[in-house]
C-alpha cells in the first residue's frame, strides 16, 4: 500500500499545548482557592468546559470564558472585579505563550515530505491556530492547512476527496484518540497515535487495539518508518 497523503495534528503533536492549558488551570484553582477546594473547582471547570464546547468550540478563548463562568459559580456574590481581571490576564497569557516545538520536528517533517504530501489538520480557534502556525515556522512545509471546528469522520472523508486520494492512501497522526485516531479510522485511513502527558480528559477514548490500520508510536519520529512498512 502506497501512502500518498500524510495528515498531522498540530497541538501536542508538533508543539506543546496542554502544558500551557494545565498551567492556566492551576492558576485559576489558586485564584478561587478562597472559595472552593481544588478538586471541586477542577470538577466544576471540566463540566463547564464540556457544556460550553458546542457554544464556544475548542481553544483558549472558550477556555477563558469557562474559567470565568466557573468562578461565577463558585466565588462569592458579587464576583470581585480583581478576580475577573486576573482570570482574563491568565487567558491572555494562554493566547500569547511561545510556541515550543517537540524535539526533531523539523527533521521529521522533512523525512515525511519525502513519502507523501503533508497536510496539517488541526482544530480550535482560527486566529489562534494561525498565529501558532506562523510562530512555529512550519507552515511552508505543508501542502495544505485545514483548521476545523472539530474532527469527525466526515472531516477526513471531505479532505481525502479534496486531495484526490483513497482513504487507504492516507495516514493521520496525532495525540488524541477521540479527534485524530478514531475519526480517521472510521473514514478508512491509517492512524498513528502519539500519546502525550497531561492530555485533556475530553480527548480520551477507548484504544482501538488490534485494529489493522492502527499503530501506537512513541513519537512522530517513528512515523516515517511505519509508513515505509506499509508500502
Per-residue pLDDT of the chain (231 residues; tens, 9 = 90+): 699 999 999 999 999 999 999 999 999 999 999 999 999 999 999 999 999 998 998 999 999 999 999 999 999 888 899 999 999 999 999 999 999 999 999 999 999 999 999 999 999 899 999 999 999 999 999 999 999 999 999 999 999 999 999 999 999 999 999 999 999 999 999 999 999 887 777 777 788 988 999 999 999 999 999 999 998
The CB density around residue 200, as the number of other CB atoms within 10 Å, is 19
CA torsion 58-150-126-50 (nearest 10°) is: -10
Cross-strand bridge partners of residue 117 = 5
β-strands 214-216, 5-8 pairing = unpaired
Regarding whether 221 and 206 lie in a shared domain, the answer is: yes
Domain span including residue 83: 18-95
Among residues 67, 95, 123, the one where a domain terminates is 95
Instruction: Please give the model's pTM, rounded to 2 decimal places.
Output: 0.93
Cross-strand bridge partners of residue 146 = 121
Regarding whether 11 and 114 lie in a shared domain, the answer is: yes
Total tally of structural domains belonging to the chain = 2
- pLDDT at position 48, please? 96
Regarding whether 41 and 10 lie in a shared domain, the answer is: no
- pLDDT at position 150, please? 92
Regarding whether 226 and 120 lie in a shared domain, the answer is: yes
The CB density around residue 201, as the number of other CB atoms within 10 Å, is 8
The CATH number that applies at residue 196 is: 3.40.50.1000
- pLDDT at position 206, please? 85
Q: How far is CA 167 from CA 9, 78, 142, 145, 188, in A?
A: 17, 54, 19, 18, 5
Give the residue among 72, 60, 62, 75 at the shortest CA–CA distance from 24.
60
Asked whether the beta carbons of 133 and 154 are under 8 A apart, the reply is: no
Q: What is the per-residue DSSP string for 13-74?
A: TTB--HHHHHHHHHHHHHHTTTTS-HHHHHHHHHHHHHHHHHHH-SSHHHHHHHHHHHHHHH
Amino acid at each position: 500500500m502506497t501512502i500518498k497523503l500524510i495528515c498531522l495534528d498540530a497541538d501536542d503533536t508538533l508543539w506543546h499545548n496542554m502544558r500551557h492549558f494545565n498551567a492556566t488551570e492551576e492558576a485559576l484553582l489558586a485564584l478561587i482557592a478562597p472559595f472552593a477546594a481544588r478538586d471541586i473547582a477542577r470538577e466544576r471547570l471540566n463540566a463547564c468546559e464540556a457544556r460550553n464546547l458546542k457554544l464556544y468550540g475548542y481553544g483558549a478563548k472558550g477556555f477563558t470564558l469557562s474559567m470565568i463562568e466557573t468562578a461565577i459559580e463558585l466565588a462569592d456574590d458579587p464576583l470581585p472585579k480583581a478576580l475577573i481581571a486576573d482570570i482574563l490576564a491568565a487567558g491572555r497569557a494562554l493566547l500569547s505563550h511561545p510556541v515550543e516545538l517537540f524535539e526533531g520536528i523539523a527533521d521529521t517533517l522533512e523525512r515525511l515530505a519525502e513519502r507523501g504530501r503533508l497536510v496539517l489538520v488541526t482544530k480550535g480557534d482560527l486566529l489562534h491556530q494561525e498565529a501558532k502556525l506562523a510562530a512555529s515556522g512550519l507552515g511552508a512545509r505543508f501542502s495544505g492547512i485545514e483548521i476545523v471546528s472539530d474532527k469527525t469522520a466526515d472531516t477526513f472523508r471531505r479532505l481525502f476527496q479534496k486531495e484526490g486520494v483513497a482513504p487507504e492512501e492516507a495516514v493521520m497522526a496525532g495525540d488524541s484518540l477521540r479527534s485524530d485516531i478514531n475519526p480517521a479510522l472510521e473514514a478508512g485511513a491509517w492512524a498513528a497515535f502519539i500519546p502525550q502527558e497531561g492530555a485533556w480528559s475530553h480527548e480520551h477514548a477507548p484504544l482501538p487495539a488490534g485494529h489493522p490500520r492502527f499503530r501506537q508510536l512513541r513519537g512522530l519520529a517513528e512515523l516515517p518508518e511505519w509508513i515505509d512498512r506499509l508500502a
